[in-house]
Amino acid sequence: MSNDILMYLLIGIGVLFGVIVIAYLFLRKKMQSSGIREIQKLRAGTKEKKFTKEILYQKLYVKYLKIPFIKRYLLKIRRRLEIINIDDEYLTRQQASKILTNAILIVIPLTIIIIMMTHQNTLLMVFLLVFEVFLTDTLIGGMVDKIDNKLLREQINFFSEIRHAYHEFNMVEEAIYQVAQDDEQPEMSRQAEKIYEVLISNDPEGELEKYYDIAPNAYLKEFAGISYLTKEFGDRKVDGASLYLKNLNNITQEMQLEILKRDKLDYVFQSLSLISIVPILFMEPIKNWAVSQFSFTASFYNGKGGMIMQIFILIMTFVCYLLTRKLKDNGSVNMSTRSENPWQAKLYSKKIAKKFIDLFIPKEGTKEYRKLQQDMKDAASKDKMEWIYINRLLLCVVTFIASVIIIMYLHNIVIQNTFTDPTANYDIIGAMSESNTASAMELTESDNDYLYHFMGDTSVTQDDIAREMERGRINDDYLTSSPDEIQTAAERVLGKLQIINSENMQWFEVLLAMVFAIIAYNMPMWMLKFQARMRQLEMEDEVMQFQTIILMLMRIERVNVEIILEWLERYANIFKEPISKCVNNYESGPWEALEQLKEDVSFQLFIQIVESLQAAVEKIPIADAFDELDTERDYYQARRKESNERLISRKGMIGRGIGFAPMVVIFVGYLIIPLVFIGMTSMSESMSGMAATSY
């Protein structure tokens, strides 16, 4: 009976399997129909993969916002990218997350390398880890600059297409709209769409002013302004060619020069920042090599002198790195990425802090106040005066406290080395053998017994120590020693004891900490002066930009001197303050306002422009006043190129001097000089000992 049941069960399973196969074949045939295949293709084309990079970066963006320290960098990147990616939240988040992720992937391995190379030197490791914060800013800034440079290159292609579209439509707004539909250059297309919306708005002049505030670079401002003027006042023929297209060509030439300038600056400075940092990674290997090969250098590298040299090199490297970053400034759009309400503003809003900080800020109207204001203007600083003084006071306090702690730490190093260093005369070359090291450490431990007994007693003499050695109450190491051996040992112990008792905080060391604090207090002011000095190198470049702007405006009808000054003010950087003052005073008297502008500046090329503007106010048309700009355009272009070459050359020369300074100091001051000086001293002592023995 059981066999029959088993047979029926197998037959049932076979029938069920056959039904499944028939159903599968039927459904497969059904799925092969053209309609079903089309639907599958449509679904496959629109279905999003689960793990694309875009989705990953979007998810990471949300995660980064929840991490306090990383959130700061994310928002800093975002503030720059959202200017380029107008109204494109998705792309802004994607690019910000991508840049931050790449920076993290670089910083994490670097952190591991730093810890592995400097784990024996806590001070150096902590400094380098803090230094990574500034290095991260450099990495992020470089990545954002690449996007900004990409936009600048897209603008050249965009202007080329605008020329063809303008020939076809002969209308500025229609040409911009047509080219803005290009999806191959999304960053530039968004800018073009924004400019198009400005031109067709009910209040184009007001919308244009708003766009000026958010435009990624000056060339888009110029393009938007020229397009607006052409739309409002119409185009005209100059020498048989469209004035609008000639102006586009002028802007294009300016952008080409700017791209070349940026590329050359990037090439010159691409490795200088790293060159100024990398040498400090080799401080510990240099120290280990020197001690292993020349034992006599251990007292220097492990003592106070070596630590002071390390601190000096670290501070010097930090300063050189900051100066190199300030010096590079490749001309990209350095929009202010700091918050409108930074921690300085929050601190200053507290009544107690405000009263204390105001004690140091100079009063309005004083000479010191005017001088500081001028320094801030010359440096184009975006900070407020109270923020600068908060930074100064914070640096002063932190430097004083750090100096006191470091000085105490140096004293402690000397004391610890006295207790732990092997007591022996080192050979000039090579290290001690294991047996010699063991004997030297036994002698050190014996000396330590006497040091612990007499430590703190400044009246002890060599005879006191010798008597204790003879009695053997502290230890019995010298019970069988000769009087000469005891006196030699007592002299050695007394020398160590004097070192330990003298390693206390002295009044002049507190004074030295105050000097360091004063230097730190003045550092922000010196940085302002350095920035102002670097900006002076670019004065000629800015004046030549003014010449291009005037060249574009001077043949447009209804353009007057006041409009030209407003345009110069809009694009000015170095000369912005005196031009703004001139614009404000213009209605009270054009000639007098321009005369005051000449007095406010001292750069001769800019004064020549002001004199031409004065001539255009009362005597001759603007086109005649600046006629030489058009007739000598090629000369000015060649002069601009030569000026950029000189600027890059001077910056490169200064940058190389600053960037290579830490490397030179490390190899000369930290390796060669200690080897030579300590080696000569050790040799001199050895020769003296040999001479004394011979007698």
* CB of 279 closer than 8 Å to CB of 272: no
Residues sharing a CB contact under 8 Å with residue 335, sequence separation 6 or more, in sequence order:
79, 80, 83, 216
Comparing C-alpha atoms, which of 300, 305, 503, 501 is closest to residue 408? 503
Work out the pLDDT band at 481, boundaries 50, 70, 90: confident
Residues sharing a CB contact under 8 Å with residue 64, sequence separation 6 or more, in sequence order:
70, 71, 74, 97, 100
Residue 1: predicted pLDDT: 44
Q: What is the pLDDT of residues 96-155, one digit of tens each?
A: 888 888 888 888 888 888 788 777 777 777 777 777 777 777 788 778 888 888 888 888
Assigned token pair, 155: 């603008």
Q: Is the pLDDT of residue 514 over 90?
A: yes
The pLDDT of 276-294, averaged and rounded, is 79
CA distance 486 to 492: 10
Q: What is the pLDDT of residues 557-593, one digit of tens each?
A: 778 888 888 888 888 878 888 888 888 988 888 888 8
CA distance 179 to 196: 10
Assigned token pair, 298: 């251990």
Q: Is the pLDDT of residue 381 over 80?
A: no
In this prediction the pTM is 0.69
DSSP string computed for 580-647: HHHHHHGGG-HHHHHHHHHHH---HHHHHHHHHHHHHHHTS-HHHHTHHHHHTHHHHHHHHHHHHHHH
Residue 20 sits at φ, ψ, to 5 deg, of: -65, -40
Residue 511: predicted pLDDT: 93
What's the mean pLDDT when you consider all of the chain? Answer: 79
Work out the pLDDT band at 335, boundaries 50, 70, 90: very low
Residue 400: predicted pLDDT: 92
Q: What is the pLDDT of residues 166-214, one digit of tens each?
A: 888 888 888 888 888 866 777 788 888 888 898 898 888 888 888 888 8
Q: Kind and range of the H or E element at 241? A: strand 241-242
* CB of 587 closer than 8 Å to CB of 598: no
SS3 content of the chain, % helix, strand, coil (to 5): 80, 0, 20
* CB of 465 closer than 8 Å to CB of 490: yes
Work out the pLDDT band at 302, boundaries 50, 70, 90: confident
Residue 331: predicted pLDDT: 42
Residue 94: predicted pLDDT: 87
The pLDDT of 429-458, averaged and rounded, is 73
The pLDDT of 488-495, averaged and rounded, is 83
Work out the pLDDT band at 26, boundaries 50, 70, 90: low
Name the residue with tokens 């036994």: 442
Q: What is the DSSP letter of 365?
A: T
Comparing C-alpha atoms, which of 151, 140, 142, 168 is closest to residue 70? 140
First to last CA, the chain: 124
Residue 330: predicted pLDDT: 46
Residue 518: predicted pLDDT: 93
Residue 541: predicted pLDDT: 78
Residue type, position 478, single letter? Y
Residue 334: predicted pLDDT: 43
Residue type, position 252, single letter? T
DSSP string computed for 242-310: EHHHHHHHHHHHHHHHHHHHHHHHHHHHTTHHHHHHGGGGGHHHHHHHHHHHBGGGHHHHTSHHHHHHH
The pLDDT of 499-504, averaged and rounded, is 81
Q: Angle 539-553/633-667 helices, nearest 10 degrees?
A: 160
Work out the pLDDT band at 50, boundaries 50, 70, 90: low
Residues sharing a CB contact under 8 Å with residue 117, sequence separation 6 or more, in sequence order:
281, 284, 285
CA distance 551 to 543: 12
Angle 346-349-355 from CA coordinates, rounded to 5°:
130
Assigned token pair, 566: 């407003």
Residue 21: predicted pLDDT: 60
Angle 526-527-533 from CA coordinates, rounded to 5°:
90
Strand partners, 237: 242
Work out the pLDDT band at 375, boundaries 50, 70, 90: confident
Q: Is the pLDDT of residue 33 over 70?
A: no
* CB of 598 closer than 8 Å to CB of 611: yes
Higher pLDDT, residue 439 or 399: 399
- Weakest-pLDDT range from 329-333, 383-387, 597-601: 329-333
CB atoms within 10 A of CB 35: 7
Residue 113: predicted pLDDT: 82
Q: Is the pLDDT of residue 529 over 70?
A: yes
Percent of the chain with pLDDT over 70: 85
Q: Which of the residue ranges 8-17, 70-79, 339-348, 621-630 has the most confident prediction, judged by mean pLDDT? A: 70-79
CA distance 92 to 219: 22
Residue 681: predicted pLDDT: 72
Q: What is the pLDDT of residues 303-326, one digit of tens each?
A: 788 888 888 888 888 888 888 877
Work out the pLDDT band at 20, boundaries 50, 70, 90: low
CA distance 664 to 313: 10
Q: Is the pLDDT of residue 343 over 60?
A: yes
Residue 517: predicted pLDDT: 92
Residue 333: predicted pLDDT: 38
Comparing C-alpha atoms, which of 532, 549, 542, 536 is closest to residue 640? 542
CA distance 211 to 205: 10
Residues sharing a CB contact under 8 Å with residue 373, sequence separation 6 or more, in sequence order:
385
Work out the pLDDT band at 298, boundaries 50, 70, 90: confident
Kindly tell me the sign of the dihedral angle through the C-alpha atoms of 47, 53, 54, 56.
Answer: positive
Work out the pLDDT band at 686, boundaries 50, 70, 90: low
